[in-house]
Amino acid sequence: MSYTHSAYYEVLLMLGGALLAAPLFKRLGLGTILGYLAAGVVIGPLLHQIRDGEEILNVSELGVVFLLFLIGLELKPSRLWSMRHDIFILGIAQVAATGCALAGLAWLSGLADAPGALIVGFGLALSSTAFALQILDESGDTNRPYGRRAFSLLLLQDLAIVPLLALIPLLAEQAPQDPTTAFEDFLIAVAAIAALLVAGRYLLNPLFQVIARTGAREAMIAAALFVVLAAATLLQMAGLSMAMGAFLAGVLLADSSYRHELQADVEPFRGILLALFFMAVGLSLHVDVILSSWAIILVATPVMMVVKGTLIYGLCRLAGSPHRDALRIALVLPQGGEFGFVLFTAAAGGGIFPQSFASLLIAIVTVSMALTPLAAGLTRFLRSEETREEMEEDFDGAGADVLMIGFSRFGQIAAQVLLAGGREVTVIDSSTERVRQAANFGFRIYFGDGTRKDVLNAAGIERVRIVAVCTHRKETTDRIVDLVQAEYPNAEIFARSYDRIHTLSLRARGVGYEIRETFESGLLFGRKTLEALEHDEESAQAIADDIRRRDEARLELQAAEGISAGRHMLHSSPVRPEPLLKPKRKAQAGLEGEKAAP
């Protein structure tokens, strides 16, 4: 067996290339995308170790599919509706204006005749969803105003590929498509979207509820991948794009209690497949075409990027974007896109222009992709003028003031207080029953394991002010506290303590606030009992307050002496407070020295 041409060898080469190139280019400030591209160019066109770059590119486009699914998960239907003006008005204007301008340049320069120039212009008007969104994600700008506007343009561009592909038979030297057949294709596409909407409304949540009850982690991951790929395949069979199917599936699940768990499950596949996609673009680079047509590429690529970026900037300014935001969008979206590969290949197959010209266009798109991280890097020199309030609004819907982990009775009571105070609370819990019941009462609750870093990331922990750990098992609480302190040192932690020993342990960890789950309720119960035994309300309250003060003083002493000393004190004879009333009614307080202390 020849290992130099085996699939294992190719996988090893690509993983090794990613391992070396991504950290290096990230360290140099050039971004991981350019690193993946460079690794692909070295492995393929330069060293000729992998020759089937186009085949790898077809597989790796699933990375774009998973990316669109994750974006859909972040966009609830109401939020998507609020973006409708940017999507359909600004998006259509961008594709139309850019397509016509680039088509005119292609025709006037003599690169193509009128039909071919239309395909060239509108094909280059489409930007790369994978490149642009990865750049926005790396810079943390996806949910900022300019990031949302850039995404709106990308979404319309993804929709535009459908009519552009339908335009090819009309421009080609062949009989135009039968109107009856075109109408049937339209009905099929509408039926596929309707079927996806119905399935998302009535089937997906019950499916995930059944799987979650089993506790089979692998089954949940398999279900997440199945939903993404099934939705993508359904719309592809209907003549639409796979990315659009995955995006719609994500939008349909955006209100689901399992959104964060799905996001955590799909994210690793998205990351590795997108890296593979960028490397495959490098592998597919036609060095011979570049060498034979280097003068055309040297002129056409920057001209295309400048014209496209200028038009995007102008349209965004007309739509109300400030100068800096419009410039950022123009620097993120000047490149050609992966759908251009599809459009140019289909046009060559239809005889609109020769295959060699399609290869030239693909080379221009690829080179423009390679230049995009460098262009986007210029945004770092644009100082933000937004106020802090505007920055907080940028994350609206992507997180909350408080991330509460665990939603048993303790957490439910605390959450009601926070909501009554006008604060937003995001809750994650691993119990499907609690998730379903709490969701019925309007709580923003999601199914997920709070001891997993990826779930915490998906729940928006990096943007919350307080992490409230309300789990009822002290081992689970300790794991979460340790994870949050190690990975998110700026997050303030409020924790539910199991008992006195656990309280001392949490204080030693440096949590912002802790409270024993039964302490305050026990004080209230004792105070009410004293009142029922003919103590007046003021004296009963004074006794409870005195016990609270003495307990805190003993906790501080125990914390200063260490938990081991505290453990010794816990198991020694009880320390009783001074009586506040007559001896015959002396308060029986300070009994927390017993082993079963609350």
- DSSP characters for 212-248? HHHT-HHHHHHHHHHHHHHHHHHHHHTTS-HHHHHHH
Distance separating alpha carbons of residues 437 and 369, to the nearest angstrom: 48
Segment (H or E) for 70: helix 62-73
Give every CB contact of residue 358 below 8 A, 6+ residues apart in sequence: 344, 345, 347, 348
Q: What is the pLDDT of residue 100?
A: 95
In angstroms, the Cα distances linking 166 to 138, 183, 185, 192 are 35, 12, 10, 18
Contact 290, 297 (CB under 8 A): yes
Query: Among residues 279, 359, 322, which one has the least CA distance to residue 44?
Result: 279
pLDDT at res. 595 = 38
Amino acid at 399: G
Q: Using alpha carbons only, what angle is made at residue 151 by residues 145 and 154, rounded to the nearest 5 degrees?
A: 150
Question: Do residues 73 and 142 lie in contact, with contact meaning Cβ atoms separated by under 8 Å?
Answer: no
Positive or negative, the CA dihedral 104, 108, 110, 111 is negative
For residue 198, the tally of other CB atoms under 10 A from its CB is 11
From the list 199, 210, 189, the residue with the least C-alpha distance to 252 is 199
> Quick one: DSSP state of residue 6?
S
Q: How far is 183 from 216, CA to CA, in rounded Å? A: 45
Which residues are registered as beta bridge partners of 466?
402, 492
Q: What topology is assigned to 3-174+259-381 in CATH?
A: Na+/H+ antiporter like fold (1.20.1530)
109 vs 438: CA distance, rounded Å: 64
Helix (H) or strand (E) holding 446: strand 445-447
- pLDDT of 244 reads 74
What is the spatial distance between Cα 34 and Cα 91, in angstroms, rounded to a whole number? Answer: 27
Give the pLDDT score at 123: 92
Q: Which residues contact 583 (CB under 8 A, 6 or more apart)?
A: none
pLDDT at 300: 93
C-alpha span between 173 and 115 (Å, rounded): 10
Quick one: DSSP state of residue 576? P
Output the furthest CA–CA distance in the chain (Å, rounded).
108
Q: How confident is the model at residue 384, as a pLDDT?
A: 42
| Residue 360 to residue 286: CA distance in whole angstroms | 8
Contact 196, 237 (CB under 8 A): no
Helix (H, G, I), strand (E, B) or coil at 508: helix
Is 3-174+259-381's fold the same as 401-517's? no
Name the DSSP class of 3: G
- In angstroms, rounded to a whole number, what is the distance separating the alpha carbons of residues 569 and 557? 10
Backbone angles phi, psi at 502, to 5 degrees: -65, -35
Distance CA 447, CA 458 (A): 11
Domain boundaries, the chain: 3-174+259-381, 401-517, 518-598
Tokens encoding 32 = 């991981």
Q: Which residues pair with 492 in a beta bridge?
A: 466
For 589, other C-beta atoms within 10 Å of its C-beta total 22
Answer whether 315's CB lies under 8 Å from 333's CB.
no
Q: What is the pLDDT along the chain (598 residues), one digit of tens a residue?
A: 455 556 778 778 888 888 888 888 877 766 677 788 788 888 888 887 776 666 776 677 777 788 778 777 777 777 677 788 888 899 999 999 999 999 999 999 988 888 899 999 999 999 988 778 878 877 767 767 788 899 889 888 877 876 887 787 777 755 455 556 666 777 877 888 888 888 877 888 788 888 877 777 788 888 888 888 888 888 878 877 777 788 888 888 877 777 777 778 887 887 788 788 778 877 877 777 778 888 898 999 999 999 999 999 999 999 988 888 899 999 999 999 877 877 887 788 778 888 778 878 888 988 888 788 777 777 666 544 443 333 232 333 435 778 999 888 888 888 888 887 878 888 888 877 777 777 767 677 888 888 888 788 888 888 888 999 998 888 889 889 988 888 888 889 999 888 888 888 888 888 888 888 788 888 788 888 888 887 888 888 888 888 888 888 887 887 777 644 444 444 333 444 444 444 333 333 333 333 334 4
Instruction: Compute the chain's Rg from CA coordinates.
Output: 30
Supply the CATH classification number for the domain 401-517.
Answer: 3.40.50.720
Give the type of residue at 358. Answer: A
The conformational region for residue 229 under phi > 0 = left, psi -120 to 50 = alpha, else beta, is alpha
Strand partners, 421: none
User: If you ran DSSP here, which 8-state letter would residue 173 be given?
Assistant: S
Element (H, E) at 22: helix 7-27
State the Cα–Cα distance between residues 439 and 428, nearest whole angstrom.
Answer: 11
Strand order of the sheet with strand 425-429? 445-447, 425-429, 402-405, 466-469, 492-497, 513-516
Amino acid at 519: F
Contacts with 24 (C-beta within 8 Å, 6 or more apart), sequence order: 35
- The C-alpha torsion from 351 through 353 and 358 to 359, rounded to 10°, is 100
Distance CA 375, CA 23 (A): 20
